[in-house]
Amino acid sequence: MKFMLISALLSVGHLNATNWSNWRGEEGAGVAREASPPGKVSSSQLWKAPLPGRGCSTPVVWEDLIVVTCVIHGKDGVLAYDQKGKEVWRHAFGKAAGVRHENAGSGCNPSALTDGKHIYVYFKSGTLAAVTMEGKEVWKRNLHQEYSPDGLKWDLGTSPIFAGGNVVVALLHNENPSFLLAFDKLSGKEVWKTPRDYDAPAEAQDAYTTPFVTEIDGVETIVTWGCDHLSGHDAKTGEELWKHGDFNPQQKKNWRVIASAVETKGIAIVPFGRGDHVAGVKLGGRGDTTGKNRLWTHKGIGSDSSTPVAKDGKFYVLNDKGPNRGMVTCLDAQTGKKEWQSKFPRSAAIYYASPLIAGDKIYAGRSDGVLFCGTITPKGLTDVVESDLEDTMIASPVAVGSKLFVRTHESLWCFE
């Protein structure tokens, strides 16, 4: 079981099915087990709220609040809406960073993070900050000024996470030093700093991924993917426990990674090779586990930008570009066996958003604004429907209860 779920049980007494507190949800794997949102959203729109500026972050939901980050009058910003689509508050920080990817980028790509007491936000400018649930600033610091300048070729993508009772951020990029950093939730003070630099070619050191947290052999562990290595670090101290490499045997210079690793049943799926490979890695061990913990590797199945979904010993991988874009592959986590493959209707547009599983349905948002929904069966997807929102869609959809929240370039949508 993921450690974040255990932490949630201890802190609030039960898992709150009405919350989606971080980029990939309460399980950290893109799964909303108890949600029952609509399949065909074009006929179930509850409300649509305009956004003041560009942002590609996924909404987070805590009880009545829906929180997104976006540019507000040229500044890094965070906004909160209520469940009726009314803006409750907004807060702006310093000047927003410029954009390198005109379609899929913004200075507000990382998703917010909340524990119901504070909201934590991170921006391409390097600003990491905390605000109250009412939007009042608590603390702020700039990681690029204090630790390492932005060395990414494209726009920052990693979102903050909770680990060891702290806020943790992965700073993984080319040329400049890379770190895992932990900060006190209430004060923003550094708790620990761990260098994370491995030998890798230029740009292969760039990572736009978000770590996940899980319990391995009784230890709360931060699992991070980037710089041609999957690594495990002690969440309390930042100490490296193990590392796993051999994801770039030909030492290609441009194998940066965008899609994150996710885990089920103690096995991580690692997307690599610019969308053309995935590997299954057994988590745990000590030291270099490269030669013993690789369970399987596939070529021709993969995702470049879209992080797979992990659920109950299965991985669901969305091919997001190339000739097989729109293909969904269900893999057995232990063996790597292809359980089934189904394909959404083809288009010239590619996918940046990560898929979502809510109940027995899988949702996938394409960059041209088309949202697909299909019912998962043992033999593949059935009852596939598509809804066109007619606006660029980069952020991943979120399901809470009977509602589906979708963020496009210009609007925040709610369907029920």
DSSP secondary-structure letter at 151? -
Cα distance between residue 170 and residue 325, in whole Å: 29
398 in helix, strand or coil? strand
Reading the chain (416 residues) residue by residue, the pLDDT tens digits are 454 444 443 333 334 568 999 999 999 999 999 999 999 887 899 999 999 999 999 999 999 999 999 999 999 999 999 999 999 999 999 999 998 887 778 999 999 999 999 999 999 999 999 999 999 999 999 999 999 999 999 999 999 999 999 999 999 998 789 999 999 999 999 999 999 999 999 899 999 999 999 999 999 999 999 999 999 999 999 999 999 999 999 999 989 999 999 999 999 999 999 999 999 999 999 999 999 999 999 999 999 999 999 999 999 999 999 999 999 999 999 999 999 999 999 999 999 999 999 999 999 999 999 999 999 999 999 999 999 999 999 999 999 999 999 999 999 999 99
Global pTM reads 0.95
Note down the domain range covering 136. Answer: 3-415
Give the domain CATH number at 247.
Answer: 2.130.10.10
Burial of 379 (0-12, 13-18, 19+ CB in 10 A): exposed
Beta bridge partners of 216: 219
Residue given tokens 């990693």 in the structure block: 158
Q: Which two tokens stand for residue 182?
A: 């932990």
Residues 180-211 have pLDDT tens digits of 999 999 999 999 999 999 999 989 999 999 99
At residue 72, the 3 state secondary structure works out as: strand
Domains identified in the chain, total number: 1
By DSSP bridging, strand 31-32 and strand 356-358 are parallel
